[in-house]
Amino acid sequence: MSASTNIGARLRAERERQARSLAEIAAVTRIPLKSLELMEADRLTELPSKTAARGFIRSYAGALGVDATPLLQSYDGGRPPRPLTPALNTAVVRARQRPRLAVAVAIAVALVVVIVLLTIAIALLLRPRPGGHRDAVSSATQTVVTAQRG
């Protein structure tokens, strides 16, 4: 029997002491009912991953108003939780900044596209039309020439 085999029993005992149903805990924590049942049966190895199990323990304990630290230490074999290392903390910060960078790049690309489209539209509006300006000049020239001959 490992140290983590009583985590589910402790959570279940506290839930029953508070007279709360497992369905209520599932609704509050958004943990699937099946996962809560596995936890209470101390079948934590059947959860999707160790990370998920730790998160479920933390959420379940929080919903009951219980400190999750001793439960997590029990799950981790008595080891205290490791704090984030500076390198990991930096990686987390960078991961959070990536979406902002992606949005900034998307906005910049959209602005360039709009500027190019406006430039093309203005160029099309201001370009000389075939026969437009030249015809007016040659017509005026013919009128002057005809008047001088006449």
pTM for the predicted model, two decimal places: 0.51
Q: What is the pLDDT of residue 81?
A: 55
Query: Could you tell me which residue, 77 or 80, shows the higher pLDDT?
Result: 77
Instruction: Give burial (CB, 10 Å; 0-12/13-18/19+) of 7.
Output: buried
pLDDT value at 91 more than 70: no
Q: What is the pLDDT of residue 3?
A: 47
Task: Place 2 in a pLDDT band, splitting at 50, 70 and 90.
Answer: very low
Query: Could you tell me which residue, 101 or 17, shows the higher pLDDT?
Result: 17
Average pLDDT, the chain: 80
- What average pLDDT does range 12-28 have in this prediction? 92
Q: What is the pLDDT of residue 105?
A: 87
DSSP at 77: T
pLDDT value at 58 more than 70: yes
